[in-house]
Chains A and B, each alone.
Chain A
Amino acid sequence: MQNESAPASQSFNPFRAIYDLFSSVWFGIFLMVMLFVYMSIASAGILHPHSITDPFGPWVRWIVRENFNKTEMEVFAWWPFTLLMGLFVLNMIVVTLRRIRLTVLSLGVWMIHTGIVILTLGSVYYFGCKLEGDAPVFRRSIVLNVPGADGPSRMVVRPQNRVFVPGADGEYSFTVASINPSWPLLSGDDKGKTACSVNVAVQTPTQSFIRQMLIGYPQYTEDIIPGKGRAVNSTGKKLLDDSLELTFEYEPQTQYFIKDSAALYVRKVGETRWIERPIEGLPHYSDNIAQRSDVWLSRGEDTVDTDPIETDPIDIFVPKVADNDPLGDMNVHITGRLQYSTGDETRWIPNANRLNPMMKVAFNGNGFEQEFSLFALSPRFSDADPSMLAYHWAENEQQRDEFGASTGNQLTIRIPAADKSIRISVEPENTFDRDKNITFTPIEGTDWAYRLKSFHRSFPIGEGMRVPITVVEFKSGERAITRWVTDDPKRAQDLTGSQEFSPPDPAVEVVFKPGALITLVAGPDPNNIDVFVGSPDDRRKGVIGETMEMGSGIHMTILESHSHTSTETRPIFIAKRDRNPRAENKFSRIKVELTSNQWNFSRWLPYHHYPLVDEQYSVPDRLEFRYQPTLCKLPDGTEVELLFSRRSERLPAVMALEDFELKVHTGGFVSGNTASVRDFISRLRPFKGGEWQPEITTSLNDPATYDDLSYFQAEWDPGNMAFTGLGVGNRDGVYIQLLGTCIAVFGMIYVFYVKPVIKRRRQQAVWAQVESAKNSAATGEPVAV
């Protein structure tokens, strides 16, 4: 110890200084404080009141690690933490070796420090090897043998699953109608037991029935005729159709899926096996878009910038790992990620190359408020009633007038005998049916007079057709005509006195041209807008953004007018405050870009918890079991499907679910309430070496280990128990960790409770010697030391 305190006159030696630093207990304390701070912030984040002025109001949590896109596991495997831990362990080793001489008294400290070093090394090994994932295993499939079919078909047993199979005499359909996981057996030796029953609704070309099947009891399979009961009662046979063979088969799982990982799955259309491309370094929490126009904000938020999106582009190359990858050597990049997007939406945007005039108008008044999008050249996209609101595109002034003239419902009456014609507007209010005060109006220069009797905007004329109709009455002396006219002059008819229809009387000619109540005309300049209200005579200039009175307290505002527009589909961006904090990454999406020479393809793919083989495995109302692959046509014409999910690992032994059981508390299982459940038990059957192996069981707190992997009971299907969710993981290194912790525990006990006892004994021994020395000094006897 004396040598260490070197004379001050010696020159500065940086190695010596570092060595001294690592020999310092204060440095260790500093590192521990740093570790404490790091762990606290990395784990809990920073809690603060939502409003600084109201500390008693609600508090919010800023999860700092999410800003760095780190999961809990990652933030504690990140270099700052690793560095701190490394320095701390090094400091502990140096201090122990240099400062604490190994003696009986210091044995405890040595044990604690050694234990912590072993624990740390064990943890480095453990976390370095750790594989953690999960795998769903469905209970069964049903093999469908349909007479005359190409071969057997398969149907996964999950509620509402439906499969169509073409047979010799037509199409068969099979639907999983219901699953009862604990169907009581009432007959034979098995009375009192329960089994999982599956009811399949069968529709053959000739009949429909329910086939009730019990897993493990093929002898009890029977058909039920809806409304009549068991087939055996009415036909004497248990099965209505012996040639139709339905049998259960395991639905084994071959893979498990790694927690917090990402992968792109590809396959040619028609193939079942997905080819995986791992995605490394995909952010876990952030929204990464290159420009704001990558997404739509949810409706109503376009104008209010409540939660502005920042652009934060990413570009992750996704290399090919398998030779049979259908994308081959094409460039695959991930260029965007969204944490929370509920789906795609198609909206119209201006400034495209195609002429497609669009106008957006808003109406309000009398407590009513609505926006309409109008398309002049593709009116089927318009969302307004065409008889109320029409939008036309005029290439010149003449067209403008013509379109204007079509405003309102117009009736042209011609009296051929006098060669006189008049034009009148038809409004429902000015008809005799509505207003009994209306009298006949003479037609100048003739002896005819007319009266509008009624007007129907949409009148049924049979065969589901509806047309606008006007009824006009004519009078000339004793002659009277009641004319029904529609927009098609050929349909005009007269109603005779005997209430029968007859062909129109040629003495009067009536042409009815129904038109919109309001006509908007623009073009070729989209900002040159004419507004015709009610009739061609009420013509106004429309200005974007200005509000005009339409009568009856209704106002109209032209919001936008564009000549060139096209549709665009983008994912919806959900503002942070509207996100369900428990949703994790289930609503996340990535933008994948494929490029090859001049060709490119980019699309937003939704997150899939599992890369399911097909629709059959998709469980309704469970987002984890969604199935929504994206179709892509490659330049060579090959059609491939893309799917975004997690990385997979092969299970060392294929696992099938023999049975899934619930242990329940008194009163039985209460749907939706896990407090009534005692335990969830999955009985699994591994497949290895070409044959099914003996059953293994996993339940809560009692995992099964098979071929170095542990299987934990993690998820279940509360509705039907059609599948189980297994947690799968390895645990290499846990015994090293355990050894370290145990050495440390014994060290602590030694330091606190054994060391003082040893010290006490030594002190007392020394004291006894001193005492006896004193005594012998007093008596003059020599002392043996």
Chain B
Amino acid sequence: MKRTLAVWIFDLSLVALIAGLAIDKYMQRAPQVEPNEFAANVELEPLRNLAVQDVGRIKSFDSFARAKMRMVGGPYDVDGKEPVFAYFDLMLNPREYQDKEIIYVKRAIRPELARAMQEEKIAPEAIIKFTKSGLMAPGLYWAPAIQAELGNLEQDIIRTQKFVNMMSWAMASTDTHRLSNDFAIIPPPNGTDKSPWLSGEQLWGLGFLQDGHNHGAEATGIPGLDESLSSAITSDWNKLVETWRDQDAAGASAAIASLADNLKNVNPQLYPEVEKLNLESLYFKLKAFVWVWIVYALAAVPLVMFIAYRMNGALTLGKIILVLAFALHTLAIGMRWYISGRIPNANMFEAVLASVWFGVLGAFVLEFLVRKTNMRGLFYFGSAICAMVAMMCQQFMPTVLKSDIDNVMPVLDDMWLYIHTNMIIWSYALIGIAAIIAMLYLRYRLGGGDSSFARIGGAGSLILDGSTPKGDRFLIDEKGSTGKVLDAATMVIMELAFVTLWAGLVMGAIWADHSWGRPWGWDPKEVFALCTFVIFIILVHVRIKVRDKGLWTAILAVVGCAVMLFNWIVINFKITGLHSYA
């Protein structure tokens, strides 16, 4: 009886935790702002697909604006507006935003700033709202008490300075001149692909913003470009600025369309393919596919039902949904690969995405191999859960896992990025899946399951099970113990993780040897990858010695996963080493 209660509490808390997280994040989202008439009617589509040059890449303006606006609003859209509109509106109507809460402040320094807000006699409700959302108005940023507090926080180099810097970057990112200077949309008329693009600020200046008149109209035009096109672009720009300021949606839409057309003719050789830009905009419009976690979650439900109740229909359904999720996942990676022009595993967002992709792919292969055994469904389930959790992190932590597409760091631009990184992240996904199956085993034991285990375990079980009529038959025998199956399945993944992690470490050492001049430098990231491996060596040897092999295998598989996550999360974000970029 007690045991049943414990199981109920366990299951309910697990469900409550996941639901709570999702609801909490949902509640924290910024209120949707009803767009005004201008915002609703202005046709931004041509603007969205405009090419912009941004440090070493040509992006769609949509992708560019998203990255820039994220620097201002963190996880929130600036003033609830879509990034392209917000970018333009901030650039052209900066005064409108002085008192709007758009600057995102990290949680770590909110209490101090809230105290400073009290000093500034800000209404208590507004302060409470701030501590919850972290959003502050640019006007308030300059208030004396806030500035004084920021000055104090900046002094603390170790703990709070970086958050203060983030705030000042956010403020700088709302600056009109900065926005117009970064807005490099004009290809160099006679340049090569190595020549910098020209920005609005360079050509027209933004004098009109100060007094409402466009002084830029008298500018000399675009150097090296034939006069008619140059003056057409200048006049498009001026019209756009004026109509935007007058909130004339029809006029602005016309100016945008004309500007976009004319820009393509400045240097047609250099201008990227429209399809690629459209695809980039589409990719971000689809929120970089991070919502695919919901599809994975939907797949996990019938899969767990199959595991618990052996309903074959549930397995088929789960498999179909999983295939759909994986197809979307693959599409996300493929689009990203095509847009960035390089393998998408060069930053945290991409590494997380690729890791679970390898995990799911591996699960399909394994499931094919075990299709006739009682293990079937377990790998699907484990990989679906891992993919779900990983993509939830992407959705709920957009400021940590940034979806922006940038160039690969020069030091990573090597063959070994394909080999070492993929091997390591694949092993990480396997470790995650092993931990999920191990948790199923622990849950089984918690629910009163016997302390059974697979005598051989891992691939050995698959190879030897049923090889002779007198040997083990739990994998094919319908009456096989669930404990034995779960234990054997954990070991199948464990063994793979063991080999891939070791191989990945060795490949990393080979890369480090020719990139940094030493195969092993006791860098924290290296050490914790080794520590994860040490846990697995311990697991293999403990499994030889203890009586309750299943239990200890499961516990150590979860511990190994925890060390792996510690390496991936804490070491990456809190302890910087040479590997700090991935």
Contact = CB atoms under 8 A, between A and B. Distances in A.
Nearest to A45: B575
Contacts of A26: 545
B410 A679 contact: yes
B570 A47 contact: yes
16 contacts: A28-B541, A29-B545, A36-B535, A39-B531, A43-B524, A58-B159, A61-B575, A581-B157, A675-B407, A676-B55, A700-B410, A703-B517, A729-B517, A745-B499, A753-B463, A759-B464
Interface of A: 25-26, 28-29, 32-33, 35-36, 39-40, 42-45, 47, 50, 56-61, 72-73, 75-76, 123, 126, 130, 132, 577-581, 664-668, 670, 673-680, 700-703, 710, 712, 727-729, 731, 734, 737-738, 741-742, 744-745, 748-749, 752-753, 755-757, 759-760, 763-764, 766-767
A729 B518 CA distance: 8
B531 A40 contact: yes
B467 A578 contact: no
B108 A57 contact: yes
A379 B126 CA distance: 57
Contacts of B108: 57-58
Interface in B468-523: 468-471, 495, 498-499, 502-503, 506, 509-511, 513-523
Nearest to B111: A57
A44 B570 contact: yes
Contacts of A756: 456, 459-460, 462-464
Residue with the greatest number of chain B CB neighbours at <10 A, chosen from A33, A39, A130:
A39
Interface of B: 53, 55-58, 107-108, 155-160, 184, 193-197, 406-407, 409-411, 413-414, 416, 456, 458-460, 462-464, 467-471, 495, 498-499, 502-503, 506, 509-511, 513-524, 527-528, 530-531, 534-535, 537-538, 541-542, 544-545, 570-571, 574-575
Given A734-B513, A748-B498, 13 more contacts: A26-B545, A36-B531, A60-B159, A132-B517, A577-B155, A578-B157, A665-B55, A665-B57, A710-B517, A738-B506, A748-B502, A759-B464, A764-B468
B304 to A, nearest CB: 28
A701 B56 contact: no
A676 B528 CA distance: 31
Contacts, number: 203
Q: Give the dominant DSSP class at A's interface.
A: helix
Contacts of A664: 56, 194
A130 B534 CA distance: 25
Contact of A44 (B160, B545, B575): B575
A734 B517 CA distance: 11
B56 A752 contact: no
Given A44-B571, A741-B506, A132 B518 contact: yes
Nearest to A668: B194
A727 B411 CA distance: 14
Given A700-B411, A744-B502, A756-B459, A73 B521 contact: yes
Contacts of B459: 752-753, 756
Contacts of B511: 701
A745 B506 contact: yes
B460 A731 contact: no
A75 to B, nearest CB: 7
B413 A25 contact: no
Contact of B538 (A32, A39, A674): A32
B411 A72 contact: no
Contact of A727 (B155, B463, B516, B542): B516
A760 B467 contact: yes
A729 B575 CA distance: 26
Contacts of A665: 55-57, 407
B509 A767 contact: no
A734 B519 CA distance: 8
Contact of A701 (B411, B506, B520, B537): B411
B523 A61 contact: no
Contacts of B155: 577-578
B276 to A, nearest CB: 13
Contacts of A666: 53, 56-58, 193-194
Contacts of A729: 517-518
Given A61-B574, A675-B407, A748-B499, A25 B516 contact: no
Contacts of A680: 410
Given A47-B570, A75-B522, A675 B55 contact: yes
Contact of B514 (A132, A670, A701, A763): A701
A763 B468 contact: yes
Residue with the greatest number of chain A CB neighbours at <10 A, chosen from B521, B544, B571:
B521
Nearest to B525: A43
Contact of B55 (A36, A673, A764): A673
Contact of A675 (B160, B406, B506, B575): B406
A763 B467 contact: yes
A712 B578 CA distance: 15
Contacts of B416: 701
Given A44-B575, A712-B517, A25 B545 contact: yes
Contacts of B522: 43, 72-73, 75-76
Nearest to B406: A675
A738 B510 contact: yes
Nearest to B544: A25
A72 B570 contact: no
A25 B530 contact: no
A510 to B, nearest CB: 53
Residue with the greatest number of chain A CB neighbours at <10 A, chosen from B158, B522, B571:
B522
A741 B184 CA distance: 50
Closest 9 CB pairs between A and B? A665-B56, A676-B56, A43-B527, A756-B463, A756-B460, A701-B414, A767-B468, A729-B517, A72-B522
Given A44-B528, A741-B509, A35 B56 contact: no
Contacts of B410: 674, 677-680, 700
Contacts of B574: 47, 59, 61
A39 B527 contact: yes
A491 to B, nearest CB: 51
Contacts of B193: 666-667
